[in-house]
Structure 1
Amino acid sequence: MNWTLEVVPVPVTDLDRAKEFYAEKVGFKVDLDSEVAPGVRIIQLTPPGSRCSVVMMSGMPGAPASGGMAPGSLQGVQLCVTDIEAAHAQLVARGVEVTPVRHLGETGWADGKGGEWNSFLSFTDPDGNGWTVQEAPTELSER
């Protein structure tokens, strides 16, 4: 049986600001923006090439306004790309503040690309939710 991760909730304070950030600056596709019931709004966005989406919501149990995760408390979610330098350039061009591309070296973090699976950058959304982007090989072996 396969177990797939399909949706990650992102706690935010302002749904419209978050939607604009993830869609226009990070480049996620808006799959849904709907008031599904009175006072219940769901926004779902998907990174290009991914089956896993992010969701932001209001008016539902678990949503920030309903006592769920605090905005900015999501940390360490990782996206993978096959070209970290192109991803960095794209985010910078769209106005996202990102770290330089870095890798783990013999004495800790060092600037520039590393070897396979060892190139990273990070950014935060307007609420402080933290994301890491890792370069992955274009050809993945079976896990």
Structure 2
Amino acid sequence: MMQQPLPIGPGVYVVRVEHAEDGTITQRFTPCPDDPAPTLQDELRAHRRVATFRAVADALQDGLSLTRREASLAAVLYVNAPAATDRQTIRAAVHGPRAIGSREDPDCWLRQLMSRLRTKLGAGAVATNYAEGYRLTPEGVELCRMALSRIAA
């Protein structure tokens, strides 16, 4: 079951494919037919973005005991967030406790990530943000709700 392409940069689209049985996500890059062919710089930017997405999903899965599918869906909107504070927290998720926090509180980055996810993805906005912004199926929206309810617990 293919979803609509999700724009991730000038001239570059990523097409998300249904999750495999083992929880992995298949992603392919294709140029938008209305835009010029993507440059090498566009491709590199797209690959970096997916690498960040995967790192955040890994951090969510490990730190919050989410399933791979839940963590991946919770990370999609978060990685695409434009705010500087969100980017700082994404860096923390990628680089670990040294990016945000201290030796006395090594899990500070994870708590901040959880807090920002709760703030950004309030329960009332989940269906709208995910279904419209990311064209998820109803099953995908429900998995997002499950992930967020576990994060908020």
Q: Shorter chain as normaliser: what TM range?
A: under 0.3
Kindly indicate whether structure 1 or structure 2 has the higher relative contact order, using CA contacts under 8 Å at least 6 residues apart. Answer: 1
Normalised to the residue count of structure 2, the TM-score between the two structures is 0.27
Structure with the largest fraction of strand: 1
Structure with the largest fraction of helix: 2
